Copies of this chain bind each other. A is one copy, B any other.
Amino acid sequence: MDKFAIGIDIGGTNTVFGFIDKDGNEITGGTFRTQEYKDSEEFVKELVRQIEISRNNISKDFDLVGIGIGAPNGNFYNGTIEYAPNLKWEGVIPLVKLIKEYYDIPVYLTNDANAAAIGEMIYGGAKELKDFIMITLGTGLGSGIVVNGNLVYGHDGFAGELGHVIVKDNGRVCGCGRRGCLETYCSATGIKQTVKELLAENKYNSSLNTEGFDSLSGKDISWAAKMGDELALKAFELTGEILGKALANFVAFSSPEAIFLFGGLSLAGDLIFKPTIKNMEENLLHIYRNKVKIIPSQLNENSAAILGAAALVWNEI
- Chain A residues in the interface with B (C-beta under 8 A): 73, 82-83, 129-131, 145, 147-148, 150, 152-162, 164-166, 176-178, 245, 248-250, 252-257, 283, 285-288, 291
Contacts and interface: CB of A to CB of B under 8 A. Distances in A.
A303 to B, nearest CB: 28
Say what secondary structure dominates the interface of chain A.
loop
Chain A to chain B: the 5 pairs with minimum beta-carbon distance, closest first: A154-B255, A159-B255, A155-B257, A131-B155, A164-B285
B148 A131 contact: no
Nearest to A162: B252
A129 B164 CA distance: 25
This chain: copies in complex: 2
Nearest to A130: B155
Contacts of A147: 147, 150, 152, 154, 159
B130 A160 contact: no
Contacts of A249: 165-166, 249
A116 to B, nearest CB: 17
Contacts of A283: 166, 178
Contact of A285 (B161, B285, B286): B161
Given A145-B254, A148-B153, 8 more contacts: A129-B155, A147-B147, A148-B152, A154-B256, A160-B253, A177-B286, A250-B253, A253-B254
A253 B145 contact: yes
Given A166-B249, A283-B166, A283-B178, A288 B158 contact: yes
Nearest to A181: B285
A40 to B, nearest CB: 19
A173 B254 CA distance: 24
A158 B255 CA distance: 6
Most buried by B among A150, A154, A159, A176: A154
